[in-house]
Amino acid sequence: GWGMTETMATVTSHSSEDYLNRPTSAGPPVPVADLKIMDESGQNILNMGEVGELWAAGPMIVKGYWNNPEATAATFIDGWVRTGDLARLDEEGFCYIVDRAKDMVIRGGENIYSSEVENILYDHPAVTDAAIIGIPHRTLGEEPAAVVHLAPGTTATEGELQQWVRDRLAAFKVPVRIIFCEDTLPRNANGKIMKRDLKALFED
C-alpha cells in the first residue's frame, strides 16, 4: 500500500490476486479516498498512464501543518494534499509510485527516476543498499551518481555495476560515478535513506 504522515497512513491498499497481477503497484485507493495525477504547475490533471505528482483526498487527510500556514497553503489545496510523489494511474485506478519528485535527476532535459536505477542495482547479487543522487554538471545540469553497500563476502567494481545498469537501462541513466560504503547507508527513523547526507561524498 501507500500513504504518508499527512494522510494518517493508508490511502491505497494492495493484496491477494490484485497484488499478484500488479506486483509493482501500490494498489487502488481505499473506498473513501480519491487520487489524481497533476502536472508540475498543479493546474492540470494528466491522462491515464502519464507520470506526474500524486494528489490525494479523503477524510484521512489532515487539515494542515501546526503553526505553519505557508507550508499548509502550499501543500493542502481544496481538500487535496500534494504528496511530492511522482506516480501514474492505470485504467483501473491502480497507483504506481515512480519516485519522489525531489529525488528525480534531470540530465540534459531527460528525467531519470532514481528508484528505477536503484531497483536495477538492487537486482545485482552483491548489492544490498543503493541510492541514486544527482551531482552537478556544468552543461547537463546534473548527472546520476550512486552510493552502494555490498553484501559481506561479495565484490563488485564501479565498472561492473555501471555495465550492469547499461545492459538494462538507457545509457543516460547509467551512474557516472559509484562510491562504495563499508556500512549500510544512513536512514531516518522511518527507514528511508537520507540522500541529502550522501551528496557530501561527491564533493571533491
**Could you give the percent of the chain with pLDDT greater than 90?**
89
Cβ contact 81:55 at 8 Å: yes
Mean per-residue pLDDT for 176-203? Answer: 91
When comparing pLDDT for 156 and 10, which is higher?
156
Predicted pLDDT of residue 123: 97
Sign of CA dihedral 183, 189, 195, 200: negative
Band (pLDDT 50/70/90 cuts) for residue 42 is: very high
The whole-number average pLDDT for the span 193-201 is 90
Mean pLDDT of the chain: 94
For residues 35 and 13, the answer to whether their CB atoms sit within 8 Å is no
Task: For 137-150, write each residue's pLDDT tens digit.
Answer: 999 999 999 999 99
pLDDT band at 192 (very low <50, low <70, confident <90, very high): confident
Which alpha helices (H) appear in 69-194, and where do they start and end? 69-75, 114-123, 158-166
Q: Tell me, what's the pLDDT at 24?
A: 93
* Per-residue model confidence (pLDDT) at position 85: 94
Report how far residue 53's alpha carbon sits from residue 85's, in angstroms, rounded to the nearest whole number.
Answer: 6
pTM of this prediction? 0.77
